[in-house]
Amino acid sequence: MKVGAWSELKHIALSRYVDSARGARARWGYTSFIDLFCGPGRVINRETKEMLDGGVLTAWKMSARGQGPFSQVFIGDLDGDAVDACERRLVAANAPVRSFVGSAIQTVDTVMAELPHGLHFAYLDPFSIEQLDFELIRKLSSQRHIDILIHFSVMDVQRNIGGDFKLSSSRLDAAAPGWRDALKLDVLPKREHVGAYLEYWESLVVELARMQVSANKPLFVNANRGPLYRLIHLSRHELPQKLWNDAALPKSTQQRLPF
Ligand SMILES: C[S@@+](CC[C@H](N)C(=O)[O-])C[C@H]1O[C@@H](n2cnc3c(N)ncnc32)[C@H](O)[C@@H]1O
């Protein structure tokens, strides 16, 4: 899977968090890592051609470096070949893996039904905001001890929000159902539209998933400093929030944009 340099930063943040939560995992009898958009498990930097581990391989290998390796790694993807490749790579790295082919909105049910009591960490890394169905978050949140790290495509929101606001259906509906009724975009300056959508999405996280959004939401930009996505961390407890706020990329490396 070809990616830009920003993908590497995402994996650094993920791996720093997995590392920092090692002590917390070690206190649980069972811990899981869940990636329902796993891809083939390997990425190639489009410019440098360097081959690197994808998100789930990065997370597993970091967890296995010391105390608190994940007890189980669940992977899924719509693309069966990607799932096979990712599973092979995880098995080669000695990961206890369970794999599923299918749309995340279906595989999430299968995975949730298999989860024993424990501490769970879900990583949602879809290509676009359209695939970030809010139902996924709601279903994952039915586990009491779970935290969720989300690739939230700011670029998709920015590209579509103005045009979609007046349509009867939109590519942004699944991620934040009801946004077109809730937001008064016609009276807001354009530069505040994405921020308003994100704020509404966060209100759904609190009301429907009963989870909190961590303060550190690093923004990743492309070579022209155009916004791509934020990494957003959800949890229910102070410790994971603190760990994420400290582990995610330092604020100095993030961009100052109005959303
Ligand atoms: C950004 S890539 C994942 C990259 C991977 N997480 C990594 O870190 O290397 C998104 C993946 O989502 C898969 N995909 C697209 N739509 C999907 C859906 N509705 N359900 C599950 N997977 C989907 C694609 O096949 C692709 O492999």
Ligand 1 geometric centre to CA of 129 (Å):
12
Ligand 1 atom with minimal separation from the 125 CA: 6
Taking the domains of the chain in order of start, what are their residue ranges?
A: 2-153+212-249
pLDDT of residue 9: 83
Confidence tier at 226 by pLDDT (50, 70, 90): confident
Strands 119-124, 219-221: parallel, antiparallel or unpaired by DSSP?
unpaired
Taking all residues of the chain, what is their mean pLDDT, rounded to a whole number?
Answer: 92
Given a cut of 70, whether residue 242 has pLDDT beyond it is yes
The percentage of residues in the chain with a pLDDT greater than 70, rounded to a whole number, is 95
Does residue 97 have its Cβ closer than 6 Å to ligand 1? no
Ligand 1 geometric centre to CA of 82 (Å):
9
State how far the Cα of 20 lies from the Cα of 246, in Å rounded to an integer.
9
CB 228 within 8 A of CB 7: no
Given a cut of 60, whether residue 195 has pLDDT beyond it is yes
Ligand 1 geometric centre to CA of 179 (Å):
25
How does pLDDT run across 143-168, given as a tens digit for each residue? 999 999 999 999 999 999 988 888 88
pLDDT of residue 92: 98
pLDDT of residue 245: 95
Q: How far is CA 244 from CA 18, 202, 233, in A?
A: 9, 17, 7
Given a cut of 70, whether residue 253 has pLDDT beyond it is no
Weakest mean pLDDT among 14-28, 91-105, 197-211, 217-231? 217-231
2-153+212-249, which class in CATH? alpha beta
How does pLDDT run across 66-103, given as a tens digit for each residue? 999 999 999 999 999 999 999 999 999 999 999 999 99
Given a cut of 80, whether residue 57 has pLDDT beyond it is yes
